[in-house]
Structure 1
Amino acid sequence: MPIDYNQIPSPCFVLDEVLLRKNLTLIDSVQQAAGCKIILALKGFSMFSAFPIVKEYLTGATASSLNEVKLINDFMGYQAHTYMPAYLDQEFDEIMERSSHITFNSLNQWERFKNRVEAFKIADPTHALSCGIRVNPQYSEVATDMYNPCVPGSRLGITRDKMPDTLPEGIDGIHFHTLCENGSDTLERTLEALEARFGELLHQAKWLNMGGGHLMTREGYDIEKLIKLVISIREKYNLEVILEPGSAIAWRTGVLVTTVLDVMDSQGIDVAILDTSFAAHMPDTLEMPYKPVISNSYHEPIVGKPTYRMGGMTCLAGDFMGDYSFDKPLEAGDKIIFEDMIHYTMVKTSTFNGVNLPSIGLAQMDGDFKLVKSFGYESFKDRLS
């Protein structure tokens, strides 16, 4: 049953349960066929009201902060796979208590905390805590430097020349994360670089975490190649393989419903002002940058059709996205539906300029809409002092 967007508060993120389950079913089929573990990366999708659905298909989740660790514990009931570029002294004991895996970003970090890890294991031998190290294979096909962890000067991971010939005692695993919405062909080339630099260390490891960026739910992704690559690396080095996709799980599973507040002529350019903000609610569109798809519009201007620049409601001059054409003129009250706005969008929203955060809702399997959460003044105030 199609969603009646006129019955949904605006602005509102709407997750489609049918589409989420479709993605999770495919992802589960990959982990079953490849004999690996695929876990949820909260940095891409943290809608904890949907975690019971995710938990039906996945048996783990990964965090990059103590807050994400707590969310995994509280709403999935799992110990977290935790990685942070640097750990805080005052948080580390709690992170150990709440995690099954902890990955360190540098040998300095491992040296700083290894005695506390050893003491923790002795004090609680029933808690199976495994530690790993993040490496930088110095190969990435990510074009945008902001998202490329292999640029010169990157703070993410250790290059081979800084690693000894044997894994430090107490380190069980190797972690890399150099993909960003890439295909399995990119993974293949990345693994070649990883093996060339770190092959001997892989033979010593118990597990390999391939990080995220495996966009296996995108149309055209070569699933069979991914399965073969995982099986090959798992069998060659006799280790467990873990993948932690961020985008793939919530890829194309929902929308951001918005409303036109005003239409104005700005020096010959028609501008539609919306009740949302690209800077505050869709920051990736400006950071990456990319132009989001709007339902029932033409992604590029069409001569002779009503064409509008989409404007956000903050006073930031660059809070706009353009230009789109439509079959008929826009008016105040018209709904504008931004597609594929669930992954890496909800998690990055802010209340810049005091704008309200979009509501969050779920389009359920039976077609009914469930409003999960709405935000107001308290949400804005609680971020400040």
Structure 2
Amino acid sequence: MNINTPAYVIEEKLLEKNLKVLDRVQKEADAKILVALKGYATWSTFDLLEKYLSGATASGLWEAKLANMKPWEVHTYCPAFKDSEIDEVADISHTVVFNSFNQLERFENRVKDKSLIGLRVNPGVSSSPVPLYDPCAPFSRLGIPKVNFKADKLKNVSGLHFHALCEQLDDALERTLEGFEKLYGEYLKDMEWVNFGGGHHITREGYDVEHLIEMIKAFRSRYPNIKDVYLEPGEAVGLNAGYLVAEVLDIIDNGMKIAILDTSAEAHMPDVLAMPYRPVVRGAGEPNEKKYTYRLGGVTCLAGDVIGDYSFDKPLEIGDKVIFEDMAIYTMVKNTAFNGIKLPDIIIKRKDGSIYKAREFHYEDFKNRLS
């Protein structure tokens, strides 16, 4: 593929493969699936998403406005809404989910005639292997714990929302759903909808989609008054549907071979350092698994801007392309222009094989974020 680097590439064929799996869940389980924009917000692909999904879920006003680019359902949750933004959020949202009774009591009268009101509750089931991504960790600020739940304040509340998963399979949802019902099941008879949150790796190999469908159907049978069941995965939409292409700028030796790329873990794939994790590189192996081992480093001045150690069948050369897999999610939405390095282009590979450059970034984009 002859493209300028660095560049994120999303393949429509792979994206649609994920969307078809999600649509199957919608149809067979009578559920609605929303794309969580916090994980995948490439709006140049919204036309394709709109064909399969029921809407989008936002984490605040700007994401809600982005979701509102399409005539689908827009759902908005924020740990705390601003007074200056709540009216606009309500105007464009199908549901507005509050994180506390303080926020509910402050804003419910400004929302109730425009949107359905929900509360995020904390099911108290920790299953994420990384504390940074565990909404049910001790002292969490996300979701109302049962000890603080006020049943007498539910007059304008039509739905409950929980979110406790991160990149997890169906068995984690089963445990979380059990905990949610144990704590809050008594209130569900008065609700119109429930949102199971995100973190469902539905399109990942090994995920038992049949089990998910049966769990949702069983839940609906237990609460026949519930009109809508929502799931809001972000990663499952773009999982393995895109990659980041970089170029080798230099190769140095400081006790081992180090390839410096025109990309950055810190700026362009921040979860590599934050989670942390080691992304898959196309055609590469573990250190010393293949004949030639290199440390792949970013182009910023951050000493720790290292992506990882990889081995290759043949020596890397200056000018070679290196492809990092699964880079359509939590990359574009979290990247930065740290050190003033160029943000990657956003490329869409159409189903017919043609290449569409959705966005190219320039110096002015960097300058205009500053003052």
* Deviation by residue 1:312-337 (Cα, 9 ceiling, x = unmatched): 00000000122100011111100000
Cα distance in 2 for partners of 1:348, 1:189 equals 30
Q: TM-score, normalised by structure 1?
A: 0.94
One of 29, 34, 38 as aligned partner of 1:34: 29
1:60-139 correspondence to structure 2 within 5 Å: 60-74=55-69, 76-118=70-112, 121=113, 127=114, 129-139=115-125
In structure 2, the residue matched to 1:46 is: 41
Whether the 8 Å contact between 1:166 and 1:204 is mirrored in structure 2 is no
Cα distance in 2 for partners of 1:206, 1:303 equals 55
Cα distance in 2 for partners of 1:60, 1:44 equals 14
One of 275, 283, 287 as aligned partner of 2:270: 283
Whether the 8 Å contact between 1:79 and 1:98 is mirrored in structure 2 is no
* Deviation by residue 1:327-380 (Cα, 9 ceiling, x = unmatched): 111111000000010011111110011011000001111111111111011111
Whether the 8 Å contact between 1:165 and 1:200 is mirrored in structure 2 is no
Aligned residue type for 1:258: A
Cα distance in 2 for partners of 1:204, 1:166 equals 12
In structure 1, the residue matched to 2:213 is: 227
In structure 2, the residue matched to 1:124 is: none
Whether the 8 Å contact between 2:65 and 2:92 is mirrored in structure 1 is yes
* Deviation by residue 1:166-191 (Cα, 9 ceiling, x = unmatched): 56110000000000111111111111
Aligned residue type for 2:3: I
In structure 2, the residue matched to 1:157 is: 143
Q: CA deviation at 1:71?
A: 0.8
Aligned residue type for 2:135: P
1:299-314 correspondence to structure 2 within 5 Å: 300-302=286-288, 305-314=291-300
Cα distance in 2 for partners of 1:77, 1:357 equals 30
Whether the 8 Å contact between 2:9 and 2:347 is mirrored in structure 1 is yes
Identity %: 51
Aligned residue type for 2:320: D
1:309-348 correspondence to structure 2 within 5 Å: 309-348=295-334
Q: CA deviation at 1:304?
A: 6.8
Cα distance in 2 for partners of 1:227, 1:197 equals 23
Whether the 8 Å contact between 2:50 and 2:72 is mirrored in structure 1 is no
Q: Does 1:259 align with 2:247?
A: yes
* Deviation by residue 1:7-66 (Cα, 9 ceiling, x = unmatched): 111000000000001110111011100001011111111100000000000121100121
Whether the 8 Å contact between 1:270 and 1:309 is mirrored in structure 2 is yes
Secondary structure in 2 aligned to 1:50?
A: helix
User: CA 1:115 to 1:99, structure 2 compared with 1: closer, same or farther past 3 Å?
Assistant: same
In structure 2, the residue matched to 1:374 is: 360
Secondary structure in 2 aligned to 1:380?
A: helix
Cα distance in 1 for partners of 2:290, 2:183 equals 57
Whether the 8 Å contact between 1:38 and 1:244 is mirrored in structure 2 is yes
Whether the 8 Å contact between 1:281 and 1:358 is mirrored in structure 2 is yes
Q: CA deviation at 1:254?
A: 1.0
Whether the 8 Å contact between 2:35 and 2:237 is mirrored in structure 1 is yes
Q: CA deviation at 1:162?
A: 0.8
Secondary structure in 1 aligned to 2:84?
A: helix
Q: CA deviation at 1:143?
A: 1.4
Secondary structure in 2 aligned to 1:346?
A: coil
Whether the 8 Å contact between 1:215 and 1:248 is mirrored in structure 2 is yes
* Deviation by residue 1:257-285 (Cα, 9 ceiling, x = unmatched): 1000000001x111000000000000001
- Aligned residue pairs, count: 369
Query: Pairwise CA RMSD of aligned residues?
Result: 1.1
Q: CA deviation at 1:79?
A: 4.5
Cα distance in 2 for partners of 1:214, 1:356 equals 32
Q: Does 1:21 align with 2:16?
A: yes
Whether the 8 Å contact between 1:166 and 1:201 is mirrored in structure 2 is no
Q: Is there any run of 5+ residues in structure 2 with no aligned partner, and where?
A: none
Q: TM-score, normalised by structure 2?
A: 0.97
* Deviation by residue 1:59-81 (Cα, 9 ceiling, x = unmatched): 2110012111111112x233510
Aligned residue type for 1:100: H
User: CA 1:73 to 1:270, structure 2 compared with 1: closer, same or farther past 3 Å?
Assistant: same
